[in-house]
Amino acid sequence: MRAAKVETGIRREQIAQAALGLIAGQGLKGLSVAAVANQVGLVPSAIYRHFQGKDQVLNAVLDLISMRLQENVAAVRAETQDPLERIHRLLLRHIQLVQVYQAIPRVLFSDEVYSGHPERKAKLYGIIRGYLQKIEEMVKEGQRQGRIRPEVAPETVAVMFLGMVAPSAFLWHLSDGGFNITRNTERAWKVFRAAIQEPPTTMKKKKRVKK
């Protein structure tokens, strides 16, 4: 059966999506152009009408991931003004994201993506840097508003934020869902928030005097 003729712009999206889905299921090892083509309903050679090769398909996958991350950032920005709450919600969204798209940590943490491809390695670094940047901005905003301790470096907080997500997602994935990622994330968030939050200046036993 012959596949319908679809303009290359749409095909590119379909192919990138299919690749992301396959990575989620099979891992990068199982990602062949044949599999991707089959998923889209095409024949392997047809992929080359839309991409120069497998490398470019992987690049498109990276762009897709970058978009998903940035979408989350935009969403929490729209949802609330409170920086701490923004970070909290971004955490929840991120956890949900890696559960739906298991491929994301796989791609992000797999060397297969950038081994022997310096330009792709740089690209990946840029994507993560961009994400961290947004988190840092939230932290700075929180510090300006006096909600986050001024002495913690925004970069540190941002990297620690990743640290709350990555291992949890990884353990969850590795245990085939046995690891309770939701519970763990909730608890980690409490500890994390306590560490970065400027304590309210009320007069309880933890009295903290503004100097």
Partner DNA sequence: CTATATTGTGAATAGATATTCACAATGGAG
Partner DNA sequence: CTCCATTGTGAATATCTATTCACAATATAG
Q: Which of 6, 74, 75, 100 binds DNA (CB under 7 A)?
A: 6
The whole-angstrom separation of Cα 35 and Cα 126 is 28
Q: Is 92 in the site for a second copy (CB under 8 A)?
A: no
Q: Is 115 in the site for DNA (CB under 7 A)?
A: no
Q: Which of 25, 43, 177, 186 binds DNA (CB under 7 A)?
A: 43
Exposure pattern of 87-109 as b/e (b: 16+ CB <10 Å)? bbbbbebbbebbeebbbbbbbbe
Q: Which residues from 11-30 bind DNA, rule CB under 7 A?
A: 11, 30
The whole-angstrom separation of Cα 35 and Cα 74 is 33
Residue with tokens 């083509």: 37
Helices (H), the chain: 8-26, 33-40, 54-79, 83-100, 103-109, 118-144, 154-174, 181-196
Q: Minimum CB separation from DNA for residue 19, in Å?
A: 10
Backbone dihedral region for residue 146 (phi beyond 0: left; psi -120 to 50: alpha; all else: beta): left
Residue placing its CB nearer to DNA in the complex, 18 or 196: 18
Residue with tokens 């994301």: 104
Per-residue mark of binding to DNA, 183-202 (x: CB under 7 A): --------------------
Q: How many CB atoms lie within 10 A of CB 23?
A: 25
Q: Is 116 in the site for DNA (CB under 7 A)?
A: no
Residue placing its CB nearer to a second copy in the complex, 41 or 177: 177
Residue placing its CB nearer to DNA in the complex, 52 or 80: 52
Q: Is 54 in the site for DNA (CB under 7 A)?
A: yes
Q: Is 48 in the site for DNA (CB under 7 A)?
A: yes
Q: Is 167 in the site for a second copy (CB under 8 A)?
A: yes
Binding piece for a second copy, criterion CB under 8 A, among 1-9, 52-60, 71-79, 151-159: 151-159
